[in-house]
Amino acid sequence: MPGLTADSGNALVPLSPEAHVSVVYPLHHGLKPPISRLSISWSRGNALRVSVFRELPAESGDSDGEAGGKVVQVKLGVADGEVDDAQWRRIAYGSVSPFALLQSRRNSVLALSKMSMSSSPYHPDWWEYVMEYSKDISSLLDNAKSLPNSVIDDPKTVLKKVEEPTCLKAAWGLLEIFYADKESQAWLPEQIVDWLADYDILFSGTQATVHSKLVEFQKAIVRLQTIEDDPRYWEVITSALAVGWLEIVVKLLRLHGSYQLDQLSNRETENGLVEAVAILISKMPRMRPELEAGRLGECFKTKPDFIKAWEKWRAQITKLDCSSFWVQCDHRQTRDGLRNMLQVMLGNTNNLCTSTCHWIELYISHFLYVRPFTVGLESMHALAQKCIQLKPISSSHRLMGLIIGILGENTEEERDNLGGISIEELHRLVYAQVLSSHALTWQIAPIYLTSCMKQGMGLLEVLLYKQPVQDNQMLLKTTEICRLYDLESISSSIMKIAGVYHWKHGRKGSGVFWLQQARDEFRLNRIAQQLFDFVGRSISDESFKQWEGLIELLGSESKIAGGLDFLHKYRDFKKSLQQVQVGKTTDAAQQAVESLISLMRNPSTPQRFWLPLLHDSLKLLSWQERPLLNVNQTNLLLNKLQELSMARLRPDFIEANLPPQALSSVRLALATNLGRAILEE
């Protein structure tokens, strides 16, 4: 669609230029050709619904036994290779509870701050909650499988084998460092150092990195006799030092040949220099609260303490650099290699630049050895720009985009082009849309949508209306969400749709149930007319059992049933009439008469049932023992009969399926009864 890319400047999410590549998606519709028509519409998410219609032979109709058409789904796009669909859903499921907890904590923190009238909107505990949330999510992003740790510590294994981390986790790590971990803002540079140590491997795919150099060297290490003679040894060691992987550096240094017992005596000075550098490295001052066990460096929490130690450390390096022992060291590679390392530690920018591969590595080395106090996004951004200039990137990595984005943008700023919503809401809406696009995750979307003040509820309504109503279990899952968020009107609309759907598909009972649940009197009245037609045709004494269940469902007349309460009364009447047939007692007959009168009085009794009702009651009207109907009752029935005779003249009158003399025999019975009743009174 060229039109779309042209004005992508207005789009919230800019379209990537890769969209120009055309992809062919084969359709498997399995229909016999010829295909006459295709219809394409959007389905869930990025799936298309393609309806394929066959051209049917004109004469034979659909008699060739083949389907006339088929609907197939086509999933567009390719999945993220890193995280498969199932894994992605697992992350989505797992993040619901932490999010719900954070939201409820947020609400209580806000309520607290309102009460105390404090100027700061957030409680001091708030950032702890945010970090807890961030850690919970981060743990979900771990790769499920982890490699078993080797018990034997091989001195020649400088690089521990780890499961390749995901970009997703790396990205979350960055967000945590910059936005969530407010406690550690003072130690931001060291956090980025740690971050790169974990994720440098991710950049190895597109270009050389310190990590990839180490991997290469690790392969060669077993074949090397005198390791210090190999220029790669010094290169790798300096690179690792530049990015602050001190443990690896010291481990590599201890592989130096001068440490071997048989060499120690004649390489004493050389070994002393190697060890001096190793000690200096392991004593490197670091501006951070703590280091994990086994990691090298000395921690300083406050800036003054750190500066003092930093100056002292650099003085020691300078002193070593000027030492006279270098002249006594006759192994050239060792001498040059070690002095190179000292230059890195002293922050010589040329050395830093040559010993690093990627601009982010150069960037990290600046934090470690040149500007350990870099604070503020602005200066960090400027430094990043400088590093990119020194080490231009051939192909951009998506994590790089994120880093530059974080450093370069001021997220606090309000933006006008977001349609009046905050960036927080925008991200939640986008995430909720992604969740909504999958049949298994849409149920999670409401929790995010309801946390979006401006547009959330509107989108939630749309989402709920889009859910299929055919299956009761699905329908109930949808209405349960309505119940949770007090969306009664949506719930009843959905149930109305379901009711009509089931009604139309012949499931009358289920249709009536859903319309009752929706309290839709209008539709219940409408379908009542159709139901009466059906009753008129099918209701005989034998088939009444079929109706029993539906009538039970309709419940007592106090419940909402539209005109359907007629059926209830009709059933009672039929029942008492049956009693009369069996027992023939006057009491039962009297009861049947009461039912008849109540039916005839009830305005919801359809006119077309009047005559059949009276015809069914002939026996009651001409009861042997005594007249069962009094004068008033008989008059009522006669009036109804009169009304019926008038109605018969109208063209839309539906004639009941009764013997032709039905009307006259009813009239005669009523007249007889009237006579007897008058006499009795």
Partner 1 sequence: MATTKSPPSHSLQIHRLPQSQYIDAVRFLPAFSGLDRFAVLALFDTHSSSPSLQIHSLPKSTPPSLNLQSSHSLPKSTPPSLNLQSSLSLSSRVSSLSLSLSAHKPLIAASTFSGSLHILLLDFDASVQSEFSVPEKSLHVGAISCVDLQESGVECVSVGEDGRVNLVGFGDGSRLTYRRVWDSDGLVSYTAAKWASPTEFATGGFGFGLQWWDLRKPGGPVSQFKGNWAQRTTSGIVHSIDIHPSRKHTCLAGGSLGTVFAWDLRWQQQPIILSGVGTSEVATHSPCESEVWEVKYDPYMQTSNFGNVSSSRILPAMLCSEDGILAVVEQGEEPIELLAEPCAINSFDIDRQNPTDVICSLEWESIAILSRP
Cβ burial, residue 138 (10 Å; 0-12/13-18/19+): middle
Nearest distance from residue 151's CB to partner 1, in Å? 21
Give the integer Cα–Cα distance in Å for 580 and 590. 9
Nearest distance from residue 435's CB to partner 1, in Å? 12
Nearest distance from residue 402's CB to partner 1, in Å? 28
Nearest distance from residue 44's CB to partner 1, in Å? 10
| Position 347, amino acid | G
Half-sphere CA count of 130, side-chain side, radius 13 A: 17
Residue 440 φ then ψ, to 5°: -95, -20
Give the integer Cα–Cα distance in Å for 530 and 311. 94
* Distances from the Cα of 369 to the Cα of 244, 279, 343, 381, angstroms: 9, 17, 10, 18
Q: Identify whether the C-beta of residue 176 lies closer than 8 Å to the C-beta of residue 192.
A: no
Q: How far apart are the first and last CA of the chain?
A: 90
Interface positions with partner 1 (CB under 8 A) = 73, 85-87, 89-90, 93, 96-97, 100, 438-440, 443, 471-473, 476-477, 480, 483, 502, 505-510, 513, 516-517, 545-550, 552-553, 555-556, 559
SS3 at position 112? helix
Q: Which is nearer to partner 1, 454 or 508 (CB)?
A: 508
Q: Which is nearer to partner 1, 72 or 641 (CB)?
A: 72
| Position 296, amino acid | L
Nearest distance from residue 482's CB to partner 1, in Å? 12
Q: Which is nearer to partner 1, 289 or 468 (CB)?
A: 468
Q: Which is nearer to partner 1, 146 or 324 (CB)?
A: 146
Cβ burial, residue 9 (10 Å; 0-12/13-18/19+): exposed
Give the integer Cα–Cα distance in Å for 443 and 116. 37
For residue 53, list its beta bridge partners.
Answer: 37, 69
Q: Identify whether the C-beta of residue 89 lies closer than 8 Å to the C-beta of residue 440.
A: yes
Q: Which is nearer to partner 1, 160 or 483 (CB)?
A: 483
Q: Which is nearer to partner 1, 365 or 451 (CB)?
A: 451
Q: Which is nearer to partner 1, 427 or 477 (CB)?
A: 477
Nearest distance from residue 513's CB to partner 1, in Å? 4
Q: How many residues does the chain have?
A: 681
Nearest distance from residue 468's CB to partner 1, in Å? 12
**β-pairing verdict for 69-75 and 47-54:** antiparallel
Q: Which is nearer to partner 1, 123 or 438 (CB)?
A: 438
Q: Is the dihedral of CA 336, 342, 345, 346 positive or negative?
A: negative
Nearest distance from residue 568's CB to partner 1, in Å? 11
- 250: closest CA among 226, 273, 271, 274? 274
Q: Which is nearer to partner 1, 36 or 139 (CB)?
A: 139
Q: Identify whether the C-beta of residue 268 lies closer than 8 Å to the C-beta of residue 255.
A: no
SS3 at position 55? coil
Nearest distance from residue 37's CB to partner 1, in Å? 24
Nearest distance from residue 588's CB to partner 1, in Å? 21
Q: Which is nearer to partner 1, 459 or 554 (CB)?
A: 554
